[in-house]
Amino acid sequence: MLKSFLAMAACALALAVVSVQAASQRPILIKFSHVVADNTPKGQGALLFKQLVEERLAGKVRVEVYANSSLYGDADELEALRKNEVQLLAPSLAKFGQYTQQLQVFDLPFLFDDLDAVNRFQKRAKGRQLLRSMEAHDIVGLAYWHNGMKQLSASKALLLPTDAAGLNFRIQPSEVLDAQFRQLGAQSQAMPFAEVFEALQSGRVQGAENPWSNIYSKNLHRVQPYITETNHGVLDYMLVSNPRFWYAIPHTIRVELEGIVDEVTYAVNRQAEADNRADRQRIEASGSSQVIGLSAEQREAWRNAMRPVWRQFEAQIGADVLKAAQAVNRKSRP
């Protein structure tokens, strides 16, 4: 009796060992979902990540990239990550409002003078701390990825801040962005990125704010006759995973993956400004949208009109975070 029990137990143990081994020999699958086109900084970053993983971790890790909201969209991708149905995302920083209010600092209009200033903030202690600000919600930030500074597009020419009054602008789901347009006497409507082209084409909204690469890759310039080069805010991303998934990856493999993340981050961030510059030129060359430049005085008028929003959100964001962000600007102001 005891003998047969021991034999059965040994058999069960052997089966368990085999199935654990079989499972561990199966490559770890990382599904990377995002909402933009392949020919954008984020789209290129996702493809480079897949390429490097396949070169260096063949047989151990497999990456599937889903672009253009083809697997999950803005409305459900973060929930899917928290349930470990997808393992990597890079949502724009405006899309984490449900999980932390501190990241709203990136949405404040005219806070950062340019992408270099954003970069400095992201590298300093406060910026790095924000990568861990959502772990209690099963979201861990692995890196910041740049896209670029946002421009205002509309159905009419926007030269003065008062020109925006009465228009309805598409926004990402961010209270700061809503407040920014209210400050101009305009309205806003939050909607997923996948709906923006149709909403502008049909006139459901009359304006939007996007970096050049998102405008060009989604053909938004074909349905927006005017684009004002405001550079009023930043559209950057946080590359995120589920900490329960990420920290369960065997140590040596995770170290290799983190090295790849660093390498891809460097490539994306070095390329993003060049991509946006090239897409700006393509939009101008297309002739379908007039690009409006602002003089220093005109830009200052936009800045003054939008700036009260900083005070409104200072308590939510944290005075320390706001101060650290302000400290990275180097240009002197009139």
> By C-alpha distance, which of 165, 12, 163, 139 is closest to 80?
139
How many residues touch ligand SIN under the rule CB under 6 A: the total is: 9
Q: Is 217 a binder of ligand SIN (CB under 6 A)? A: no
Least Å distance, CB 293 to ligand SIN, is 23
Q: Residues near 193 by Cβ (< 8 Å), separated by ≥ 6? A: 35, 36, 69, 73, 74, 172, 214, 218
CB closer to ligand SIN out of 35 and 154: 35
- 8 Å CB contact between 74 and 91: yes
Q: Which of residues 227-246 bind ligand SIN (CB under 6 A)?
A: 235
Q: How far apart are CA 52 and CA 55, in angstroms?
A: 5
- 8 Å CB contact between 151 and 230: yes
Angle at 84 between CA 81 and CA 90, to 5 degrees: 30
Least Å distance, CB 172 to ligand SIN, is 5
Among 193, 212, 302, 313, binds ligand SIN (CB under 6 A): 193
Least Å distance, CB 125 to ligand SIN, is 26
Q: Which of residues 262-321 bind ligand SIN (CB under 6 A)?
A: none
Q: Which of residues 42-101 bind ligand SIN (CB under 6 A)?
A: 92
Least Å distance, CB 36 to ligand SIN, is 5
Q: Is 177 a binder of ligand SIN (CB under 6 A)? A: no
Q: How far apart are CA 61 and CA 89, in angstroms?
A: 17
Q: Residues near 190 by Cβ (< 8 Å), separated by ≥ 6? A: 170, 171, 172, 173, 174, 178
Among 69, 102, 214, 276, binds ligand SIN (CB under 6 A): 214
Q: What are the Cα distances from residue 261, in Å, to 120, 145, 243, 244, 269?
A: 19, 10, 15, 18, 12
Task: Give the per-residue contact string, 136-155, with ligand SIN (x = CB under 6 A; - = no).
Answer: -----------x--------
Q: Is 35 a binder of ligand SIN (CB under 6 A)? A: yes
Among 28, 30, 36, 115, binds ligand SIN (CB under 6 A): 36
Q: What are the structure tokens assigned to 20, written together?
A: 């654990």
CB closer to ligand SIN out of 78 and 324: 78
Q: At what angle do helices 296-306 and 175-183 cross, to 10 degrees?
A: 120
Residues that bind ligand SIN (CB under 6 A): 35-36, 92, 147, 172, 193, 210, 214, 235
